[in-house]
């Protein structure tokens, strides 16, 4: 505090110093498992309602839900590894649009699905809500 007023600039500076950038996010933690139901049209839906990342401008936390829907080919994702993958975003400054595409790219790389869609639905800030969807088809 300076003269009884909060020093928001120094708080923002601190928050931006301690965050990671998107290069911190690694797909190596994702574990693909063999899919044994191959000749079936089974859609896998996964939802993480407690997703967090950081605003790359302010360092403040962003809260949202990540929804993944995919049609597997030969692999599915092991859910514990997906939870740990998501934890990497907690200290990472990244825009919604970039993180949605990054999650999609990593899952396509690891699972090689027939089709996949990743949705990021973030809580309102200043009266504005955001939903970003990225998709892939073989």
121, 64 in Cβ contact below 8 A?
yes
Nearest alpha-carbon partner for 56 in 10, 103, 28, 92: 92
Active-site residue, selected from the candidate residues 3, 28, 55, 73: 55
Copy the structure tokens of residue 110: 């690891």
111-134 per-residue burial string, b: 16 or more CB within 10 A, e: under 16: bebeebbbbbbbeeeeeeebebeb
13, 62, 73, 105: the catalytic one is: 62
Q: Is 62 a catalytic residue?
A: yes
For the question of residue 7 being annotated catalytic, the response is: no
Q: Which residues are catalytic?
A: 55, 62
């Amino acid at each position: 505090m300076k003269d009884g007023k909060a020093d928001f600039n120094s708080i923002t500076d601190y928050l931006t110093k301690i965050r990671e950038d998107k290069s911190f996010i690694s797909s190596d933690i994702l574990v693909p498992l063999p899919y044994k139901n191959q000749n079936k049209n089974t859609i896998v839906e996964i939802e993480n309602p407690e997703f967090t990342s950081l605003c790359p401008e302010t360092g403040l936390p962003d809260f949202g839900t990540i929804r993944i829907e995919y049609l597997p080919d030969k692999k599915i994702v092991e859910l514990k590894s997906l939870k740990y993958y998501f934890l990497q975003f907690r200290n990472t400054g990244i825009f919604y649009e970039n993180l949605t595409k990054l999650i999609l790219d990593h899952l396509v790389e690891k699972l090689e699905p027939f089709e996949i869609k990743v949705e990021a639905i973030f809580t309102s800030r200043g009266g504005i809500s955001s939903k970003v969807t990225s998709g892939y088809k073989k």
